[in-house]
Amino acid sequence: MDINLTDIWVYLAETPLLWLTLTLAVYLPADWLYRRTNALPLFNPVLLAIIGLVLLLLATGTPYATYFDGAQFVHCLRGPATVALAIPLYTYSATLKRMLVPLVGALLVGAVTGVVSAIGIGQLVGLSDVTLRSLAPKSITTPIAMGISEQVGGLPSLTAVIVILTGIVGATIAQEVLSVTRIRESSIRGFAIGLAAHGIGTARAFQMDAEAGAFSGLAMGLNGAVTAIIVPLIVSLML
């Protein structure tokens, strides 16, 4: 009996099916818990699911590469999901048109602030050079951030982790931080969240309301482009 179970485990552990299924199976209760606690920031579903899965992988001695073989099918949906953000954006086209100038201004100022503040604070608290370089593109979506990290001498895989952490931090504190500014317009709140905390922030913005989500998605896309251009410049000036 025991041997049979081991055999089954050995077989399953090598197929993509197991870790694909477990990624979804761990995410669903995490998401449920988050909704049940009325979006309690520390119960961020991404954070909970990551903790659950890492514990599972460590307990079973499974390497990340084996896990990713299965989980990549979820990972690959980020592309079409980004494209799908055009639909909420379309719904708010009129607001977008009205806000175009403030939006472009906030984009440029925000993008520079994101990179300069990350490197500046990182230097103050004594981060190593390679970590600083990996951290510079932290506010933007993973695929671009990893490419830029490599370009400026960082570790792309560390950047991926830092980007996710930034998203979780941003989603967790967004409500409190923005209430301090007393700005009520959903378009502005959403844009600030998406610019600072990319896709995970955008997921959070959609929970506030659809307009915040739409502008968050737009900010995520635009900031990806601007940050890609400015990181090499700022890194060469500051490091």
Partner 1 sequence: MIRALTALLLCQLVGEIVARLLQLPVPGPVIGMLLLWILLLVHGSIPAWLQQTAQTIVQHLSLLFVPAGVGVMVHFSRLQDEWLPILLTLIGSTIITMVVTALTMHVLSLRMNRMQ
Residues within window 32-91 making contact with partner 1, judged by CB under 8 A: 44-46, 49-50, 53-54, 57-58, 64, 67-68, 71-72, 74-75, 77-91
What sign has the CA pseudo-torsion 117, 75, 174, 211?
Answer: positive
Contact region with partner 1 (CB under 8 A), list: 7-15, 35-43, 221-229: 221-229
Q: Which of 8/83 has CB closer to partner 1?
A: 83
Kindly determine how many residues on this chain lie close enough to bind partner 1 according to the rule CB under 8 A: 107
| 221 is a contact residue toward partner 1 (CB under 8 A) | yes
Cα–Cα distances in angstroms (integers) from residue 202 to residues 140, 199, 216, 231, 233, in the given order: 11, 5, 5, 22, 27
Upper half-sphere CA count for residue 87 (Cβ side, 13 Å): 6
| 185 is a contact residue toward partner 1 (CB under 8 A) | yes
Residues within window 106-135 making contact with partner 1, judged by CB under 8 A? 106-107, 109-110, 113-114, 117-118, 121-122, 125-128, 131, 135
| 235 is a contact residue toward partner 1 (CB under 8 A) | no
Residues 133, 137, 154, 167: which binds partner 1 (CB under 8 A)? Answer: 167
Question: Which H, E and C letters describe 17-74, residue by residue?
Answer: HHHHHHHHHHHHHHHHHHHHCCCCHHHCHHHHHHHHHHHHHHHHCCCHHHHHHHHHHH
What does the alpha-carbon distance between residue 81 and residue 127 come to, in Å, rounded to a whole number? 34
Contact region with partner 1 (CB under 8 A), list: 1-9, 10-18, 35-43, 136-144: 136-144
Shortest Å, Cβ 53 to partner 1: 5
| 137 is a contact residue toward partner 1 (CB under 8 A) | no
Shortest Å, Cβ 58 to partner 1: 7
What does the alpha-carbon distance between residue 20 and residue 235 come to, in Å, rounded to a whole number? 38
